[in-house]
Amino acid sequence: MSILVTGASGFIGTHLCRELLRQGQPVVALCYPEITSDITALSSHREFRIHKGDIRDTDMMRNLIRSHRVKSVFHLAAQLPGENDIDDPFPGFDTNARGTLSVLNAAYHGRVRIFVYASSMSVYSEPPQYLPVDENHPTRPGTVYGMAKVTGELGCNLYSGAMNITVLRYAGAYGRGERESNAIPTFIHQALNNKPITLYGDGTQSSDFVYIDDVVPGTILAWEKNKPGVYNIGSGEETSVRELAKRIVVLTNSRSEIVLTEQRTERPFRFFLDIAKAQKTLGYSPRSLDEGLKIYLKEFKS
């Protein structure tokens, strides 16, 4: 019996596959649109199988789950939000909503026992109605990506009678392998080169930043504990963009100046997650932002 990880070539997916293999678990990695070098590097493991395919191909999904006798699924595959989602919302919504339904249906027919769905903090209303944001907060997303993730959660509810399903609403994960255009690697690159760190808006907008080596254990705990429900996976720590930049300047001993711009930010509000439920029920215990940044900086420099 195997564990299927969809979106295995993504940021979180790659780290999750690596950790599951380290624990001796047999893993089937589903990648699309390409199989990355990071995933290929794991192919030396005897219990590792790589497949390329689109999660919307339900026949392929059913065959994959049946042929590998998959009994647990980590569904991480998703099309990330883009700049033109409102102009052309259909590709992202189709992949993230209908694709999730396709994986759920295949899991149902394959008699999968445990299903872990990677949702997002983007499902919550923007700006949030209260802080910190717990799992009971209204889900009224302001993006196509968030709307599709909520639709995926509704699909999970539809199939929850056939298998144990856990929904994880991730905060903004950072760490080795993330997109270079994200805030933290951008700020680190600017700081290490003593270049100005540019912030959109007044820098008071905040978010929840969680280190990848906390996200992965939290995800595996959801599978191990097998206690269905919805859980926030974040740091539980509110950090403004300006404070984030200041911490990076200090940790890198940089001479960079922090410069505010008038360009509008996509999230001009305060936000962070309440993670008490995951802490109490799953035993989830993330490190602080400073601890995570120190580790990431060492990896970034090397």
- Do 36 and 166 reside in the same domain of the chain? yes
Q: Is the pLDDT of residue 267 over 90?
A: no
DSSP assignment of 287-301 equals PPHHHHHHHHHHHHH
Using a cut of 0.75, tell me whether the model's pTM lies above it: yes
Q: Tokens 């390409």 identify what position? A: 34
- Do 46 and 121 reside in the same domain of the chain? yes
Predicted local distance difference test score (pLDDT) of residue 146: 96
Asked whether residue 279 is assigned to any structural domain, the reply reads no
Asked whether residue 213 is assigned to any structural domain, the reply reads no
DSSP class of residue 273 equals B
Q: What is the CATH number of the domain that holds 99?
A: 3.40.50.720
Tens digit of pLDDT for each residue in 54-85? 999 999 999 999 999 999 999 999 999 876 78
- Do 29 and 99 reside in the same domain of the chain? yes
Predicted local distance difference test score (pLDDT) of residue 229: 98
Q: Is the pLDDT of residue 34 over 90?
A: yes
- Do 128 and 25 reside in the same domain of the chain? yes
List the domain range (segments joined by +) for residue 251. 178-207+237-273+288-301
Asked whether residue 94 is assigned to any structural domain, the reply reads yes
Instruction: Tally the C-alpha atoms within 13 A of residue 55's C-alpha that lie toward its C-beta.
Output: 32
| Residue where one domain finishes, among candidates 170, 197, 224 | 170
Q: What angle do CA 13, 244, 294 make, to 5 degrees?
A: 65
The total of structural domains in the chain comes to: 2
Q: What is the CATH number of the domain that holds 189?
A: 3.90.25.10
- Do 106 and 186 reside in the same domain of the chain? no
Predicted local distance difference test score (pLDDT) of residue 9: 97
User: Rounded to an integer, what distance in angstroms lies between the CA atom of residue 78 and that of residue 10?
Assistant: 9
pLDDT band (50, 70, 90) for residue 183: very high
User: Catalytic residue among 32, 117, 145, 231, which?
Assistant: 145
- Do 14 and 97 reside in the same domain of the chain? yes
Q: Is 124 a residue of the active site?
A: no
Cβ within 8 Å of residue 124, ≥6 positions away: 133, 137, 138, 139, 140, 141, 146, 169
Residue 131 corresponds to which tokens in the numbers above? Answer: 């802080």
